[in-house]
Amino acid sequence: MARLDLITIGELLYVLKAPYPGLLEQTPSLSCHASCSEANVAIGVTRLGWSSGLVTKVVNNFIGRFAVSSLRGSAVDVSNIIWTDVGRMGLLFQDAGIPPRPSNSVNDREHSAFVQLEPDEVDWAQALTADRLFLTGITPALGELPRQLVLRAVKEVDGTKTQTIFDCNYRSRLWSIDEAREFIMPFLRHIDVLFIKLEEARSILGLEGDPVNITQQLRADHGIDIVVLSLSGDGAIANDGTAAYTPAIEAHVVNRFGMGDAFIAGFLYGYAVGGLQTGLNHGHALAAL
């Protein structure tokens, strides 16, 4: 198998969307999609010219086949997807809000096939043939087996040339601040590139002070090479030993879903081709688009 630019692990969801600008509770029809934060990043980097793949587990029914076909159609490698005849696919219902009404999403993913994925089911030697391993805080929030899965993944690449990337991506509907802190704090020692929001750094990691100082402290305390700190609408700071800042691009918001994932895809590609400032510029451009 050819070496990929990026491999990622996460639960591929069957996404049912209310037609814009409708509400879930009022719509008589839903459009069908396949997505997850990890897949969004994988698709994002393929559109910039990289190769990427997803490790996940899906049910061999019409939903699973639709989801995998959607990934394949976006040029994401699906050879490391594990098929099963047991269980169900996780569902995500969405509607896109119009200010001041916020967007809405409802998860229905309990007892899905992915959360029952045993680490030993993955062919790690094949799956991790990649320059970068991308993980998010969503996966360990899903339960004990998903936590074992991401821990196994980082241990498999420790000491190799594969760069480990982690997006904190805290979801309060999936786990508490205390649960997230207990897992993430020791996990950070495995990470080469960290994406984290300012509010996550403060609430989960207990960091205070100037945002630039927070990025410096994360690098020093955990041995992280690159820290990218999101300031939400105020832009982002990145630090790889030297700090850089870029403001967000003003845009008319139609749909915020996937915006952070687009930023990450843009930053990773931009940093690889042009360094810190280029990474931030690419990230904000993709987020705005």
Active site residues: 261
Q: DSSP H helical segments within the chain, as ranges?
A: 37-47, 62-73, 124-127, 144-157, 177-187, 198-203, 211-222, 259-274, 276-288
Residue 279 has a CB neighbour count (10 Å cut-off) of: 27
Where b means 16+ CB within 10 Å and e means fewer, 41-50 reads bbbbbbebeb
Single-letter code of the amino acid located at 58: V
* C-alpha torsion sign, points 187, 188, 190, 192: positive
Question: In the chain, helix, strand, coil percent, each to 5?
Answer: 40, 25, 35
Q: Which of 201, 206, 207, 208 is nearest to 232 (CA)?
A: 201
Residues near 151 by beta carbon (within 8 Å), at least 6 away in sequence: 187
